[in-house]
């Protein structure tokens, strides 16, 4: 018996060509590339016929009406799976998906090397005062090299919050620089954290001892606002704050105050509450802040890995095989039943 045709819908946002190529070469799969400019009504009608919805992980890239909510799911009775374009799933209401029997998969690990490299890049740039040096070379005169003296990473203590795919690679790279690595991850025991290249400590101890703090946890109800004024005040004086995780985990106004007061020596930020931040954002006015526009995972290699993993997980699902990166694995038996019925 011929297998039923399955429809994958994605929007006309940039994605590595490997995604479309892999799906176009697979029998029984049709790919619908919808235009965001067509609006929510037309696009919801297209999603109503979808078996899989491939969606950006970034909130600011998807109109609110096209993010995955209980309301949208009610209009998409055929939907079996929502697949995100990265490790994050900020655009997806996972609880609503689970209630509807819809599997959510992400591409965790596919961009880990690129993000870890970027975290180290930010650490180096802040520690060596690259941003301030670049500004002064373009706009200032009469200063000495010693006015821009920075610090080595070697011998410093790196504190990592979240020791998943990206965190463990960051730990490995930091160790190569001669750093001591400590980590806080409530979902891993001391033995597993040690196997991933770090010493397990609680968050309070990590804040107190880390010379550089690097955030690699997802944005959840537990982590939203985790780094507030109290957390910054608990950090070691002169410490550096780095985040390549998600905007919303750190309080931007409180961070600006901690930097402006001199309590923290600098920050490297790839993620923001609103992306990109406004030119007038107070953090952008500080020379000891190295900003980037959520590009840690945006390399040719990482984007190709993400697109390939996403396409392969979709084909795995359609063949009735368990995908590797499930966010709500408890619904997998229901998805199998729905696959068999359709």
Establish whether 275 is a catalytic residue: yes
Strand ranges in the chain using DSSP code E only, listed in sequence order: 6-11, 29-34, 52-55, 81-84, 103-105, 157-161, 180-184, 199-200, 212-215, 239-243, 264-269, 289-291
Nearest to 185 by CA among 226, 154, 150, 148: 226
**Residue 20, phi then psi, degrees to nearest 5:** -65, -40
Characterize 203-234 residue by residue with b for buried, 16 or more Cβ atoms within 10 angstroms of its Cβ, and e for exposed. beebbebbbbbbbbbbbeeebeebbeeebbee
Establish whether 35 is a catalytic residue: no
**Residue 95, phi then psi, degrees to nearest 5:** -60, -40
Nearest to 304 by CA among 59, 21, 51: 21
Cis link prior to 54 (omega < 30° from 0)? no
Residue 21 CA to residue 14 CA, distance in Å, equals: 14
| Catalytic entry in 168, 294, 303, 325 | 294
**In the chain, how long is the greatest CA-to-CA distance?**
80
Residue 342 CA to residue 339 CA, distance in Å, equals: 5
CA distances from 136 to 69, 128, 139, 305, 317 (A): 48, 14, 5, 38, 54
Question: Euclidean distance between the first and final Cα of the chain, in Å?
Answer: 13
| Catalytic entry in 192, 205, 273, 275 | 275
CA distances from 324 to 72, 79, 316 (A): 25, 19, 9
| Catalytic entry in 246, 250, 303, 325 | 246
Nearest to 190 by CA among 200, 180, 181, 182: 200
Active-site residue set = 246, 275, 294
């Amino acid at each position: 018996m011929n297998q039923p045709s399955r429809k994958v819908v994605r929007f006309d946002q940039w994605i590595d060509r490997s995604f479309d190529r892999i799906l176009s070469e697979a029998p029984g799969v049709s790919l619908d590339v919808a235009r965001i400019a067509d609006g929510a009504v037309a696009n919801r009608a297209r999603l109503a016929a979808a078996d899989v919805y491939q969606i950006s992980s970034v909130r600011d890239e998807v109109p609110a009406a096209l993010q995955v909510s209980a309301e949208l799911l009610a209009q998409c009775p055929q939907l079996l799976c929502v697949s995100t374009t990265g490790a994050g799933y900020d655009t997806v209401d996972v609880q609503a998906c689970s209630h509807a029997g819809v599997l959510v998969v992400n591409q965790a690990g596919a961009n880990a090397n690129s993000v870890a490299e970027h975290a180290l890049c930010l650490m180096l740039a802040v520690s060596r005062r690259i941003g301030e040096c670049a500004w002064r070379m373009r706009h200032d005169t009469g200063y000495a090299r010693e006015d821009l003296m920075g610090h080595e990473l070697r011998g410093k203590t790196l504190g990592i919050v979240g020791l998943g795919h990206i965190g463990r690679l960051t730990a490995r790279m930091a160790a190569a620089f001669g750093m001591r690595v400590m980590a806080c991850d409530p979902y891993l025991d001391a033995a597993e954290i040690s196997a991933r290249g770090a010493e397990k400590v609680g968050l309070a101890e990590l804040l107190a001892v880390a010379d550089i703090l690097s955030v690699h946890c997802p944005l959840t109800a537990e982590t939203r606002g985790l780094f507030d004024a109290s957390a910054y005040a608990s950090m070691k004086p002169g410490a550096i704050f780095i985040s390549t995780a998600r905007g919303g985990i750190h309080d931007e106004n409180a961070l600006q105050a901690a930097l402006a007061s001199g309590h923290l020596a600098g920050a490297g930020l790839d993620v923001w509450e609103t992306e990109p931040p406004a030119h007038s954002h107070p953090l952008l006015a500080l020379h000891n802040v190295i900003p980037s526009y959520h590009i840690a995972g945006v390399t040719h290699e990482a984007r190709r890995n993400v697109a390939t993993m996403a396409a392969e997980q979709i084909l795995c699902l359609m063949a009735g095989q368990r995908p590797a990166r499930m966010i709500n694995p408890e619904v997998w038996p229901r998805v199998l039943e729905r696959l068999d019925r359709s």
